[in-house]
Amino acid sequence: MLATALAAPDFDRMLQRITQGFGLGAQQAVKDWRKLVEDGQNLTEADKLRRVNEFFNRRIRFDDDIRIWGQTDYWATPLETLGKGAGDCEDFAIAKYFTLRSLNVANNKLRLVYVRARFGGPDSQVAQAHMVLAYYPSPEAEPLVLDNLISDIRAASRRPDLTPVFSFNSEGLWVGNAPAPAAGGLGRLSRWQTLLKRAQDDGFE
């Protein structure tokens, strides 16, 4: 579905679905998202990253899944996140991933990364699970990190507070900083598989 190519999202279908699920007031979010994707097609990849990162960081309010969905760990589709106007770190990263794929950024340049995020300075032992989106300009390049915790996009070396645990996209799963995908692959991520199916139902073909 999203492995090698991604057709333009069916925004007309998405307008219908967001209206059915979240009411007329949620339509503007899809209209603005559509404009972001349509206006961004001819931008440089650096500008695509910046605009997508800013769009979701400014529009979406951070909140916990239990308050948004009544579940402890729910991975929302971009349409669901826009409909609620709120999401947790996974929802920010997922929405940015889908949007950049819609802007024809190659799948092998993007990975959703589960990290341990350290809070309170370099000597702090306080850490929690977190998710970001990583962009690789080339296979061997240092990735850039798109995060909902900070507004600017930084190289991974400038985020010593983040320790990668595993990463994935719609083609594979990697453990830590391993160069090759892990055995078992995406079959180990049932929430991701379920989300991809719901995203297809929303209008991502």
Both tokens of residue 92? Answer: 């920010």
Count: domains in the chain:
1
58 or 121, higher pLDDT = 58
Q: Can you give the pLDDT at residue 24?
A: 94
> Per the domain annotation, does 92 fall within a domain?
yes
Residues 17-59 pLDDT 10s? 999 999 999 999 999 999 999 999 999 999 999 999 999 999 9
pLDDT at residue 189 tops 60: yes
pLDDT at residue 105 tops 80: yes
Q: Can you give the pLDDT at residue 123?
A: 66
Q: Can you give the pLDDT at residue 119?
A: 79
pLDDT at residue 2 tops 50: no
Q: Can you give the pLDDT at residue 139?
A: 86
Pairing of strands 110-119, 126-135: antiparallel
Mean pLDDT of 62-86: 97
Mean pLDDT of 69-80: 96
Q: What is the CATH number of the domain that holds 161?
A: 3.10.620.30
Kindly report the average pLDDT of the chain as a whole number.
91
Q: Can you give the pLDDT at residue 82?
A: 98
Both tokens of residue 190? Answer: 């049932």
Q: Can you give the pLDDT at residue 177?
A: 75
Q: How far apart are CA 84 and CA 87, in angstroms?
A: 8
> Per the domain annotation, does 3 fall within a domain?
no
Question: Amino acid identity, residue 11?
Answer: F
Kindly report the number of other CB atoms within 10 A of residue 87's CB atom.
28
Q: Can you give the pLDDT at residue 99?
A: 97
List of long-range contacts for 29-37, beta carbons under 8 Å, 24+ apart: 29/59, 29/82, 29/83, 29/85, 30/79, 30/82, 32/59, 33/78, 33/82, 33/99, 34/9, 36/99, 37/8, 37/9, 37/11, 37/99, 37/102, 37/103
Mean pLDDT of 121-142: 87
| pLDDT classification of 1: cutoffs 50, 70, 90 | very low
Q: Residue 91 is inside which H or E element, if any?
A: helix 89-102
Residue with token string 């106007």? 85
67 or 124, higher pLDDT = 67
> Per the domain annotation, does 2 fall within a domain?
no
Q: Can you give the pLDDT at residue 179?
A: 66
> Per the domain annotation, does 1 fall within a domain?
no
> Per the domain annotation, does 80 fall within a domain?
yes
Residues 141-183 pLDDT 10s? 999 999 999 999 999 999 999 999 999 998 889 888 776 677 5
Q: Can you give the pLDDT at residue 5?
A: 46
Q: How many helices (H) and strands (E) does the chain have?
A: 7, 8
> Per the domain annotation, does 4 fall within a domain?
no
> Per the domain annotation, does 138 fall within a domain?
yes
Q: Name the percent of the chain lying above pLDDT 70.
A: 90
Residue with token string 């909902």? 148
The boundaries of the domain holding residue 153 are: 11-202
Q: Which of 90, 86, 13, 102 has its CA nearest to residue 52?
A: 102
